[in-house]
Structure 1
Amino acid sequence: MLVRIVKMTFKHENIASFERIFEMHRGKIRAFEGCSFLELYQDEKQRNVFFTYSHWEHADFLEAYRKSELFMGVWAKTKVLFSKKPEAWSLTKVQEN
């Protein structure tokens, strides 16, 4: 399993727009082949900083999503709202409790 974390920093005036975009597309992203989990987090102090946290069966599924029309459409709407370049990490679980 691959865990994907993406940090996105938005212009304050674009927070509501991003939240609408995420709400409209989260079901389709969760239903994408290979995605088993998706959540959105907001920083408590910097309210314009959000993180997506997703689980993918394998890196190939994440890459297929990143090349899909769904991703390209969502990303085109989202990237214009940023105040900083997004950061992303792909992680594999090393240890469980």
Structure 2
Amino acid sequence: MLVRIVKLSFEPSKIEEFLANFETVKDKIRNFEGCQFLELYRDKNNTNIFFTYSYWNSENALNNYRHSDLFKAVWSKTKPLFNGKPEAWSVDKIASIE
């Protein structure tokens, strides 16, 4: 399993637009083949910074999503809303303590 963390920084005036779009696409992303889990987080101090956190079956599954029409549509609506360069990490989960 691959965990993907993406940091997104938005123009403050564009946050509601981002959230509205995320609401319309979140289930499509979550149900994309190979996606096991999807969450959206918002920074408590810098409220224009968000993080997506997702689990993928493999790097290949993530890449299939990143090259899909769904990703292209989501990204084309999201990218113009940024006020900073997005950052992304692909990581392996080492431990989960509940």
Q: Same-fold call, TM > 0.5? A: yes
Deviation, structure 1 residue 94: 2.5
CA distance, structure 2, for counterparts of residue 87 and residue 96 of structure 1: 23
What displacement does 1:96 show?
A: 4.1
Find the counterpart in structure 1 of residue 94 from structure 2: 94
Which residue matches 1:75?
75
Partner amino acid, structure 1, of 2:43: D
Query: What one-letter code is carried by the residue in structure 2 that aligns with 1:50?
Result: F
The match for 1:20 is 20
Give the aligned partner of residue 66 of structure 2: 66
TM-score (norm 1): 0.97
Q: Which consecutive unaligned segments of at least 5 residues does structure 1 have?
A: none
Q: What secondary structure does 1:14 align onto?
A: helix
Aligned length: 97
Aligned to 2:85, what secondary structure does the other structure show? coil
Q: CA RMSD in A?
A: 0.8
**Deviation per CA, 1:8-61, whole angstroms, max 9, x where unpaired?**
000000000000110000000000000000000000010000000000010100
TM-score, length-scaled by structure 2: 0.96
Counterpart position of 1:47: 47
Unaligned runs of at least 5 residues, structure 2: none
Give structure 1 regions of 4+ aligned residues with deviation exceeding 4 angstroms.
Answer: none
- Identity level (%): 54
Q: How many angstroms apart in 2 are the aligned matches of 1:96 and 1:48?
A: 28
SS of the residue 2:81 aligns to: coil
